[in-house]
Amino acid sequence: MNFGRIAKPDKIQFGSDLTKMRGGRPMQTCLTGLAIFLLLFCGTTDAQDLGDQIRHLKSGRDVERMWELISTMDQAHRGLNTVDSIDNLNFKRMVLLIQYHGYPKSSIVPNMVFTHQRSAYVREHYFRILQDAYNDGNADEYWFLHNVRGMHRERFGFDLLQPTTTNYEQLLSRLSPFLNDSLTYDLAPFDPLFSTYITDVQRITNSPANHRWVNKEGDRISIHSVDDKLYLFKLWGDGSYGLPQQIRSDKSTGKYTFVEPANKAYLAIDTSGNLTIKGGNWRPQFYRVVN
């Protein structure tokens, strides 16, 4: 899911710059240590095996190397090169690391892993991990609020407001029907939640599209008809997407509006078939029709 552009520079506590000296050791030594760690852990995907290996990490340096591994793998395949299986493995490792070794104070790596997780259902289920870390003063504030904003956009298709420390709970209140109230590190629900999300999205996107458009950035929009309902689906240029949003056709004005009451935007199609999204909190967006 594209959560919007990030203006703040990354502040990664672990693995932020492997080209620098670490503790007086040259770069080659640091990379050798991480390479060994990659060989030991990259092949492990079973939740039980992951849990055993992460629980038995022997030193703080081993824990730090695991966070470096997660950060390295996360940043190695972004955009159109995203690999869901790697992001899913990173997410599971993150959950177990926090369970057994605590939250890495002030690191943005957990928030990055949350941001890059494809499934909204997974993020909503494990969100209490981030929320509790933030409430305890351990999570990076900017990135926590960035995730809250992104989760709202994913679920409802628009930005209600720019979250701050004083208003972000308005977004959490709207998300509350979908959030897991309990703090959990149990990975058993992960795979079903991920699969269900993909199935729910594809149920709509695999149906015939009534219309398709593209903008100059390469973002694509399509309208699909499923069970006598209309859905708007946006595929960002980087290959990410959110939940399709239900819309309705207003024949009196020739526009499409969103079923979600708080989303005041509307879609207008001109005589050439091109699309403009206006109103609400959306800045005007133009999309050229695709034949």
CA-CA distance, 124 to 104, in Å (whole number)?
21
Q: Does residue 163 sit within a domain?
A: yes
Residues 138 and 100 in one domain: yes
pLDDT, tens digit (0-9, with 9 covering 90-100), for 232-253 = 999 999 999 999 999 999 888 8
Residue 58: the pLDDT is 86
Residues 182 and 213 in one domain: no
pLDDT, tens digit (0-9, with 9 covering 90-100), for 65-87 = 999 999 999 999 898 899 999 99
Residues 132 and 40 in one domain: yes
Residues 214 and 193 in one domain: no
Q: Does residue 19 sit within a domain?
A: no
Residue 2: the pLDDT is 54
- Whether pTM exceeds 0.75: yes
Least confidently predicted of 31-35, 128-132, 133-137, 256-260: 31-35
The sign of the CA dihedral 97, 133, 11, 90 is positive
How many Cα neighbours within 13 Å face the side chain of 93?
A: 26
Domain boundary among 162, 179, 199: 199
What are 86's two structure tokens? 């790697």
Expressed as residue numbers, the domain containing 260 is 208-289
Using CB atoms within 10 Å of the CB of residue 285, give its burial: 0 to 12 exposed, 13 to 18 middle, 19+ buried: middle
What are 183's two structure tokens? 């703090």
Domain boundary among 174, 199, 224: 199
> What average pLDDT is seen over the chain?
86
Cross-strand pairs, 212: 222
H or E, element range at 18: none
Using CB atoms within 10 Å of the CB of residue 137, give its burial: 0 to 12 exposed, 13 to 18 middle, 19+ buried: exposed
* Cβ proximity of 247 and 258 under 8 Å: yes
H or E, element range at 201: helix 190-205
Residues 253 and 116 in one domain: no
In this prediction, residue 16 has a pLDDT band, given cuts at 50, 70 and 90, of very low
Q: Does residue 10 sit within a domain?
A: no
CATH of residue 231's domain is: 2.40.128.50
Length in residues, the chain: 291
Helices (H), 206-252: none
Q: Does residue 63 sit within a domain?
A: yes
Residues 195 and 213 in one domain: no
What are 1's two structure tokens? 């899911």
In this prediction, residue 264 has a pLDDT band, given cuts at 50, 70 and 90, of very high
Residues 242 and 109 in one domain: no
Structurally, the chain folds into a number of domains equal to 2
Q: Does residue 21 sit within a domain?
A: no
pLDDT, tens digit (0-9, with 9 covering 90-100), for 85-139 = 999 999 999 999 999 999 999 899 999 999 999 999 999 999 999 999 999 999 9
Q: Does residue 156 sit within a domain?
A: yes
Residues 125 and 255 in one domain: no
> Above 90 in pLDDT, residue 168?
yes
Most confident of 59-63, 176-180, 279-283: 176-180
Q: Does residue 8 sit within a domain?
A: no
Q: Does residue 9 sit within a domain?
A: no
Residue 251: the pLDDT is 82
Residues 161 and 275 in one domain: no
Domain boundary among 145, 171, 199: 199
Residues 155 and 227 in one domain: no
